[in-house]
Amino acid sequence: MSIDGREYRAHRLSWLYVCGEWPPRDIDHWDMDRSNNRWTNLRLATPGQNNANVPVRATNQLGVKGVRQMSSGNFQARIIVAGKLHHIGTFTSIAEASAAYAAAAVEAWGEYARV
């Protein structure tokens, strides 16, 4: 949106309108739809929390967040928290690796974890 020639993001203006103050940090959309700026869909977030609430990337060959297949055929679960890569473990099935990533994501980001 544009006000007096200056561009503003609609979700930040929504926050200002409801709270009466500019948001002190990032705003996350619960449902990941950036065009859904209803008040019930917005929440304050740190940059890490905001990045945690994203879908699986289109380039992800397995279709599972935090899991990659190793040359041995096993699956490795990894997570990045506070800019540091953490090895969660190596598993024989994609389901086990996915469950391990999901548990680590919930521990790291709580309700912001999108698994």
Helix residue ranges, H only, the chain: 10-19, 47-52, 94-109
**Residue 3, pLDDT above cutoff 90:** no
Taking only the tens place, the pLDDT of each residue in 94-109 is 999 999 999 999 999 9
Mean pLDDT, residues 49-58: 90
Ordered strands of the 84-91 beta sheet: 67-69, 75-81, 84-91
Q: Can you tell me the distance from the alpha carbon of 95 to that of 14, in angstroms, rounded to the nearest whole number?
A: 39
pLDDT at residue number 115? 81
Question: Mean pLDDT across the chain, nearest whole number?
Answer: 93
Angstrom distance (rounded) from CA 79 to CA 109: 11
Q: If pLDDT is split at 50, 70 and 90, which confidence band does 88 have?
A: very high
Query: pTM of the predicted model, to two decimals?
Result: 0.81
Q: What structural domains and CATH numbers belong to the chain?
A: 1-45 (no CATH), 55-115 (3.30.730.10)
